[in-house]
C-alpha cells in the first residue's frame, strides 16, 4: 500500500516504481515544529459512545488538553496539550475511551475545514449539504447500461492483461455496464485530477484533502520534504493533486474513461472523488482516515478504496508484552476509532474495499512484526521486533475491520502474487495486482505489473521522462490521442494496492447494475452487504495450488535466487489465497 518513505525524498526511480506499492500502513509522529520545541503535542481522543460535545470538552480540559477540532459523527477529537501526563490523565476521565498521539502535524487550513470536522459547525454543515447536492447532480441523468454495441478500446488496452483477466474490456463488461452515476472515493495519497485520463470523471466539487504535508519527522529526517520544494510550492495541496502517484494509479484502475487515450478503468463512467488521507511519502494517519470516511458517508459515496494501513502500527495489538502500556492504549484506540468511522460510512451505504497487504504473511497465524512503529514519535525512536503476534488480539486496519472487503493479489497466470498477504478467513476475494516474477522462468518482467495513470510531475521527479516529455524509464508509458495534441503518462506498479481498486471498480459496476434509485442523495443505492455478496458470488472459484504449500522462486536482476513457501488452506469455494474467488466484472453484472 504505502510506497517507501524515502522514495520521494531520494528521488529513487526504476525498481522502486515497481516496489510493493502497498505498504501504506504507517507511523506515529510528534509535531517536528512543536512537539520537541514547545512541548506541545497532539492527540486523537476517542470519547465513549453518547458523550455530548460539552462533556467531551470538559473531560479534555480536565485532563489538561484543548480541543482543536472535533468529529462529532464518530466521537473523536484532535487535542493539543503541553502536559506530558495528558494520556494518563485522560484515562481517568469517564467520558474518554482512549487516546492516540495524532499523526497529523500541521493545522488543517480553514479552506479544508468543511470535511467532516465540527469546527465552525454551522459553516461545515452547510458545505456538507452543498456537497450532498453536488453528489446528487453528479449522479443525476439517465443510466448508461450500454447499448449492446461494442465500445472502442483505448490505445493501451493490449497492455492491460488485468482487465482481460476479469472481463472488463470493450467487448466484455463495457458493453453492458460502465458505472455511470456511481461515486467512488479514493482514500489515498491524492488524485491528479488534471491527468487527461482521469479529468473527465473527476469531481473537483466533491474532492477533499484531509491532511497536509509533513516536511520532517521528530529526528529531522525527510518525510514529505520541504514545502517550497513541492511542485505546487506548498504543504497545503489542493484536492486535485497527487505528489506521490499511488492514489492516481488506484483511481485510474477504477475509473479511467473510454476516451481514446491511454487505458480504461473497470468502471469507465464512474465518478472519481479524491478523499486524500495519505501523505506524499505514503504514510496514513488516524485523524485524516476518520474524517475521510465520515465525509464519504455524508455525501453519498457508493464505494471507497483503501489501499493502505493506518500508521504507525502494521498490527494494532491490545496487549502484546513487548509494548508499553501507552503503546497498547494507542493501538486499542486506533482500532476502536477506525471501526467507528468504518461503521459510520458503511451504515450510510458505502461499500468498503481494502488491500490485504504486501507482507507475504498468513494473517490467521502467529507471526512477527519488526516494522512498527514505523514513524518517529520522538527523537531516536526506532521500530522494534514484536514476536508471536496473536491474530486474535492484533488487528491491521482497515483491512481487518468489520465490514471491509479484503483483497489479495494475483499475477498474469492467476497465481497468488509472491508478496501478497493471505489467510483463510482473512481474504474475501482476489484480484489482479501484478507479479513481475509470474513468468515461466521466474525472471522479472515489468509488463506483468498493472499499468495505470502516472502524474506528469511525479514522472519528472522520478526521472521517468526527459526534458522533451519523452519516456526514458522502462516502467513508464506515454499515450497521446488521435490528434497528438493531448498526451498522458502511465506506469507499471504491483501490489495489493493495485488489486484492491479492481475489486472496488467491480463493486461500482454492481451498484450501477443492481442499485435502486436514491431519492435523498441522487444516483443509485445498494446496501454494502448486498454489494459484497454479489462480488463474492460472482467471483471465479479458484482452488489452492497442488501441493497447497506453494514455493515461489524468483530470479532477481542481481543474479540472486529468492524462494519462499506459502501454504494455502481451505476449499476451492473459499480459501486463504483467493477467498471466495477471483473477481469477474462480466459475471458480477449477470453476463
Q: What is the pLDDT of residues 138-186, one digit of tens each?
A: 444 334 444 456 789 999 999 999 999 999 999 999 999 999 999 999 9
Domains of the chain with bracketed CATH: 6-28+127-588 (3.40.50.200), 41-102 (3.30.70.80)
Residue 221 has pLDDT above 80, yes or no: no
CA distances from 177 to 164, 527, 590 (A): 16, 19, 10
Q: Which string of b and e fits 358-372 if b means at least 16 CB within 10 Å? A: bbbbbbbeebebebb
Q: At what angle do helices 246-255 and 496-514 cross, to 10 degrees?
A: 30
Q: Is the pLDDT of residue 27 over 90?
A: no
| pLDDT at residue 40, rounded to an integer | 83
Residue the block writes with cell 495513470: 453
What values do phi and psi take at 56, rounded to 5?
-65, -45
Question: What is the pTM (predicted TM-score) of this model?
Answer: 0.88
Res. 304: pLDDT tops 70? yes
Are the C-beta atoms of residues 100 and 334 closer than 8 Å to each other?
A: yes
- CB-CB contact of 295 with 273 (8 Å): no
Q: What average pLDDT does this structure show over 319-339?
A: 94
SS3 271: strand
Return the DSSP state at 141.
S
Q: Is the pLDDT of residue 104 over 70?
A: no
Confidence tier at 64 by pLDDT (50, 70, 90): very high
Rounded-to-integer distance, Cα 502 and Cα 163, Å: 8
* 103 band by pLDDT with thresholds 50, 70 and 90: low
Query: Rounded to whole angstroms, how far apart are CA atoms 196 and 199?
Result: 5
Q: What does the pLDDT average to over 100-106?
A: 58
CA–CA–CA angle 185, 401, 90 (5° rounding)? 100
**CB atoms inside a 10 Å sphere around CB 2:** 31
How far is the CA of 294 from the CAs of 242, 345, 358, 577, in angstroms? 22, 6, 27, 31
Cα(322)–Cα(387) distance, integer angstroms: 8
The angle subtended at Cα 244 by Cα 243 and Cα 247, nearest 5°, is 105
Helix (H, G, I), strand (E, B) or coil at 185: strand
The dihedral through the CA atoms of 472, 475, 479, 485 has a sign that is negative
Identify the DSSP state of 413: T
Query: Both ends of the chain: CA-CA distance in Å?
Result: 32
Question: Higher pLDDT residue, 585 or 211?
Answer: 585
Instruction: Say what the pLDDT of residue 162 is.
Output: 98
Structure confidence at residue 101 as a pLDDT band (50, 70, 90): confident
**CB of 542 within 8 A of CB of 414?**
yes
Q: Say yes or no to pLDDT of 229 above 80.
A: no
Amino acid at each position: 500500500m504505502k510506497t517507501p518513505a524515502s522514495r520521494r525524498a531520494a528521488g529513487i526511480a526504476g525498481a522502486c516504481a515497481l516496489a510493493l506499492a502497498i505498504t501504506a500502513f504507517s507511523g506515529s509522529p510528534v509535531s517536528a515544529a512543536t512537539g520537541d520545541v514547545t512541548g506541545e503535542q497532539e492527540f486523537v481522543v476517542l470519547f465513549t459512545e453518547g458523550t455530548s460535545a460539552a462533556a467531551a470538552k470538559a473531560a479534555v480540559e480536565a485532563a489538561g488538553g484543548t480541543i482543536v477540532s472535533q468529529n462529532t459523527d464518530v466521537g473523536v477529537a484532535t487535542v493539543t496539550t503541553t502536559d506530558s501526563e495528558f494520556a494518563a490523565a485522560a484515562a481517568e476521565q469517564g467520558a474518554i475511551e482512549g487516546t492516540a498521539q495524532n499523526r497529523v502535524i500541521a493545522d488543517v487550513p480553514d479552506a479544508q475545514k468543511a470535511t467532516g470536522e465540527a469546527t465552525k459547525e454551522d459553516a461545515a454543515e452547510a458545505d456538507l449539504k452543498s456537497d450532498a447536492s453536488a453528489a446528487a447532480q453528479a449522479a443525476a441523468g439517465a443510466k448508461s447500461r450500454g447499448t449492446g454495441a461494442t465500445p472502442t478500446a483505448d490505445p493501451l488496452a493490449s497492455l492491460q492483461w488485468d482487465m482481460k483477466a476479469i472481463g472488463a474490456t470493450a467487448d466484455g463488461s463495457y458493453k453492458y455496464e460502465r458505472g455511470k452515476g456511481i461515486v467512488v472515493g479514493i482514500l489515498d495519497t491524492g488524485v491528479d485530477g488534471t491527468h487527461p485520463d482521469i479529468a473527465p470523471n473527476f469531481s473537483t466539487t466533491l474532492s477533499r484533502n484531509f491532511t497536509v504535508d509533513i516536511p520532517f519527522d521528530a529526528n529531522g529526517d525527510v518525510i514529505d520534504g520541504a514545502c517550497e520544494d513541492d511542485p505546487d510550492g506548498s504543504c497545503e495541496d489542493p484536492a486535485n493533486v497527487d505528489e506521490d502517484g499511488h492514489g492516481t494509479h488506484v483511481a485510474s484502475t477504477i475509473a479511467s474513461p473510454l476516451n481514446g487515450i491511454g487505458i480504461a478503468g473497470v468502471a469507465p463512467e464512474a465518478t472519481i472523488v479524491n478523499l486524500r488521507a495519505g501523505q506524499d511519502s505514503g504514510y496514513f494517519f488516524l485523524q485524516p482516515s476518520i474524517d475521510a470516511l465520515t465525509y464519504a458517508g455524508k455525501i453519498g459515496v457508493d464505494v471507497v478504496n483503501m489501499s493502505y494501513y493506518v500508521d504507525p502500527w502494521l498490527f494494532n495489538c491490545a496487549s502484546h508484552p513487548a509494548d508499553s502500556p501507552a503503546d497498547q492504549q494507542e493501538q486499542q484506540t486506533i482500532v476502536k476509532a477506525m471501526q467507528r468511522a468504518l461503521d459510520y460510512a458503511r451504515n450510510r451505504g458505502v461499500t468498503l474495499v481494502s488491500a490485504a497487504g504486501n507482507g507475504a504473511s498468513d494473517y490467521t497465524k502467529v507471526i512477527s512484526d519488526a516494522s512498527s512503529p514505523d514513524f518517529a514519535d520522538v527523537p531516536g525512536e526506532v521500530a522494534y521486533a514484536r514476536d508471536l503476534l496473536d491474530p486474535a488480539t492484533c488487528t491491521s486496519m482497515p483491512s481487518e475491520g468489520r465490514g471491509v472487503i479484503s483483497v489479495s493479489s494475483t499475477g498474469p497466470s492467476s497465481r497468488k502474487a509472491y508478496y501478497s498477504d493471505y489467510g483463510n478467513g482473512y481474504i474475501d476475494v482476489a484480484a489482479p495486482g501484478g507479479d513481475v516474477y509470474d513468468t515461466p522462468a521466474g525472471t522479472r518482467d515489468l509488463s506483468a505489473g498493472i499499468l495505470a495513470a502516472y502524474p506528469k510531475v511525479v514522472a519528472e521527479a522520478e526521472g521517468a521522462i526527459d526534458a522533451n516529455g519523452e519516456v526514458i524509464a522502462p516502467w513508464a508509458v506515454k499515450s497521446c490521442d488521435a490528434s497528438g495534441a493531448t498526451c498522458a503518462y502511465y506506469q507499471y506498479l504491483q501490489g495489493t494496492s493495485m488489486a484492491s481498486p479492481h475489486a472496488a471498480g467491480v463493486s461500482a459496476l454492481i451498484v450501477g447494475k443492481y442499485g435502486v434509485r436514491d431519492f435523498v442523495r441522487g444516483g443509485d443505492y445498494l446496501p454494502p452487504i448486498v454489494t459484497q455478496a454479489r462480488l463474492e458470488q460472482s467471483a471465479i472459484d479458484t482452488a489452492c495450488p497442488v501441493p497447497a504449500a506453494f514455493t515461489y522462486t524468483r530470479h532477481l536482476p542481481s543474479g540472486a535466487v529468492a524462494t519462499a513457501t506459502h501454504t494455502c488452506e481451505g476449499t476451492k469455494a473459499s480459501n486463504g489465497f483467493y477467498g471466495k474467488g477471483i473477481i469477474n466484472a462480466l459475471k458480477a453484472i449477470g453476463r
